[in-house]
Structure 1
Amino acid sequence: MERVTGVGGVFFKSKEPAALAAWYRDHLGLELEPGSEAVSVFRWSEPGTTTWSAFPEDTQYLGRAESRAMFNYRVKNLDRMLAQLRADAVFVDDRVEISKFGRFGWAIDPEGNRFELWEPADGL
């Protein structure tokens, strides 16, 4: 059985992403990625990363308009995980996105929350 291997990131909406990220930087010590106004990446002691990212209030990336956050789960084999979910009658988005960060897929939980599955690129 395929399983998630950890949390790849937490993504949420914000009315003012840069200002909110600055607040977290100033009050909780979250260091922002160079060139970013609203992304902080935690480096693992073993290979891998966890990403903290504030999205604009009007983003559609997180699913339903009322969704304030989306969980991203790391997986070793995205294709097998998506097939497993489909076999269990879970709604899975047909789209798979490929980027320099790896491969991404999405599904919906029983409460209607969209979540992301991430097969990291080598070295992430």
Structure 2
Amino acid sequence: MSQILGLGGIFIRCKDVDRYRAWWSDHMGVALTDWGTLEWEHSARAYPSRSMLSPFAANTPYFDPSTQSVMINLRTDDVRGMIEKARKGGAQIVGEIDDTEYGMFGWFIDPEGYKIELWQEPSG
């Protein structure tokens, strides 16, 4: 049976690939591989069974203030801590951290202008 097994990666165009890789490695703690990819191991603490592809209308305000056509959602165990790392790295923080019944969310614009949504699963 043919099926999708999970998210393999996110591929994006960059103005300065080396600077972009360095920012994610230096400020956000993501490992840089010998191939130049930024990778991390899946954690048992992450929601393990699902990744998603979520289409939005072309005119959605949800990606604002980014003008990119892609927004990246990353799972984390500490939204507040990751937002602080992004802030210290010079990222533009978007809005306030939102603690909801679905978990905690935080947003920033990375060095290439992509809006990054951080998601921390609700405890319990």
TM-score by length of 1: 0.55
Structure 1 residues 64 and 80: alpha-carbon distance in aligned structure 2, compared to 1, 3 A threshold: closer
- Contact 1:3 1:81 (8 Å CA) reproduced: no
Number of equivalent positions: 86
Cα distance in 2 between the residues matched to 1:89 and 1:101:
28
Partner residue in 1 for 2:92:
91
Greater length-normalized contact order (CA 8 Å, ≥ 6 residues apart): 1
Cα distance in 2 between the residues matched to 1:65 and 1:87:
19
**Where do residues 35-114 of structure 1 align in structure 2 (5 Å cutoff)?**
47-48=47-48, 49-64=50-65, 66-114=67-115
Cα distance in 1 between the residues matched to 2:122 and 2:76:
11
Cα distance in 2 between the residues matched to 1:51 and 1:62:
16
Cα distance in 1 between the residues matched to 2:90 and 2:65:
20
Percent identical among aligned pairs is: 27
Structure 1 residues 72 and 120: alpha-carbon distance in aligned structure 2, compared to 1, 3 A threshold: same
Runs (5+) with no aligned partner, structure 1? 8-43
SS of residue paired to 2:62:
coil
Cα distance in 2 between the residues matched to 1:78 and 1:113:
17
TM-score by length of 2: 0.55
- The runs of at least 4 aligned residues of structure 1 exceeding 6 Å deviation read 4-7
Let me know the Cα RMSD of the aligned residues: 3.0
Runs (5+) with no aligned partner, structure 2? 1-26, 31-39
Shift in Å, 1:114: 1.0
- Contact 1:63 1:113 (8 Å CA) reproduced: no
